[in-house]
Amino acid sequence: MRQGLDLTLRQELRINAQLLQTMETLSLSTDELREKIKKEAETNPALLVHERAASYDRFAKEYTRKTDRSESFSDSDSDDEHQNWIEGMIGEKETLQQHLLGELGCMEIPEGVRAAAETLITSLDRNGFFPSDPSLLVKPSEKQFVPEAVKIIQKMEPEGVGARDWRDSLIIQAEARGMKGDELNLFRKMVYEELDNIRLGKTEQSAKALKTDTGEIEALFSFLKTLTPFPGRKYDSGYDEYIIPELSIKKEDGVLRMRVNRDCLPSVEIDPAYKELAEEYKKDRSESGRKAEKFIKEKINAASSLINQIDMRASTLERTGAVLMEKQKDFFLKGPLYLKGLTMQEAAAEVGVHEATISRIASSKYIDTDFGIYPIRALFSSTVNSDDGQGYSRNAVKEMIRNIIAENTGGKPLSDQKISDILAERGIKTARRTVSKYRHELDIDSSFGRTK
């Protein structure tokens, strides 16, 4: 009998590198995608990049975040009085908490879990991490909901928030991108035990310590470099950022028309000269010729992959826009008060993709409408039922609350209960505590006299 023979049967899921890159590209804002294209062009001679006839600078100047805070996108019937329900979104950078609370508002989850998640989100630090044990950050009545609330936060964009520290964040990001089983366990051990050695170039030593081969360690370390250790810092307000709407849905001659803003990104193609060069080197069977052919093929494949990623992003964005135009028709025709409840899961079913794909395509992208520029994510919201069966979105109900407060000219502030009663008279049943929560999300203090 032979000794030392160890047979092990393992089932593993290997993450396709191109799939990872496609997922990342879906999430990128216009500015981030331009930067990605620029960096690729700097290192890939097979990639040709052409600016569109319409200058990016023109869009940047037109849609800069430094828009005057006094600007609002108003209903045509009351331009001076009707403030947009996301007033300030264009005027200042969205915080991490604002982004996550908005994302939470689009989810259909139990109220207890929602309350715990809201408390935990407001406790996150600038990195997107919990400053201490999550169970210590909530009210006693919310403790039972903490495990589920933490799971929900960790599935939000940006990937990696809701972690204990940067190592934990990297593991969460790896899981979000599909890593699991033995591969995830190996990645976890590498992150917690061997990163310092790998950074010092001691790959063989790390492979031996982790009982695997150097190729596996190098592949996992390359994957790690695509992650970010501090995901929340994306929402720091220390720099200017431009808003370039990639979709436009507006009324023209009484009909809604959708346009995709292709001019905000450069056109990208493979250099025909490089294709010809590849054909020439196919005939050269010398060692130098084979190396040149291999190099050229790698660059052409990389350029082709980037072009496919950009095309898939544009196609998914356009199909998502078409669903929004159909499902939120009243919003585009009449304004924010007519925004209906629409979940990302429902939109994903219409588009024919996974819910996570819709979440990524809605991240950091904007849509131009007759009522102003909106984050695409703001057009998704859970439903608040009404007596007429219409089903208003949470954001539409918040806009109604804003209007009720603005229309109160009696001098005496309206209580949350009174606002709840007024909504009930309009067929919308909303509890007092829900009104209080919406008022806080609108940044209107208890005196209803000023924003916070």
For residue 197, how far is the Cα from the chain centroid?
33
State both tokens at 118: 């809201």
Q: Taking the model in full, what pTM does it have?
A: 0.55
Give the chain's domains with CATH numbers: 96-236 (no CATH), 383-441 (1.10.10.60)
Max CA separation in the chain (angstroms): 95
Comparing C-alpha atoms, which of 329, 197, 205, 191 is closest to residue 255? 329
Q: Are 93 and 65 in contact (CB under 8 A)?
A: yes
Look at residue 380 in the predicted model and tell me its pLDDT: 85
pLDDT of residue 389: 56
What's the one-letter identity of residue 410? G
Question: Distance of CA 64 to CAs 39, 84, 240, Å?
Answer: 23, 18, 8
Question: Beta strand 366-369 with 247-252: parallel, antiparallel or unpaired?
Answer: parallel
Q: What is the pLDDT of residue 65?
A: 41
pLDDT at 304: 92
Task: List the chain pLDDT tens, one digit each, 452 residues.
Answer: 445 555 555 544 445 566 677 778 888 888 888 888 988 888 888 889 887 654 445 545 554 443 332 233 333 333 433 344 333 334 446 788 888 888 888 788 888 899 899 889 988 888 899 888 888 888 888 889 999 999 999 988 888 999 988 899 999 999 888 888 888 999 999 988 888 788 777 888 888 999 988 888 888 888 888 888 888 887 765 444 557 789 999 998 889 999 988 888 888 999 888 888 877 877 777 888 788 888 888 889 999 999 999 999 999 999 999 999 999 998 999 888 788 888 888 899 999 988 888 888 888 889 999 888 888 988 887 666 655 556 666 777 777 888 888 777 766 778 888 888 888 887 777 777 777 777 776 766 554 444 44
Dihedral sign (CA 423, 424, 428, 429): positive
Query: Would you state the structure tokens that stand for residue 170, as one six-digit string?
Result: 């990297």
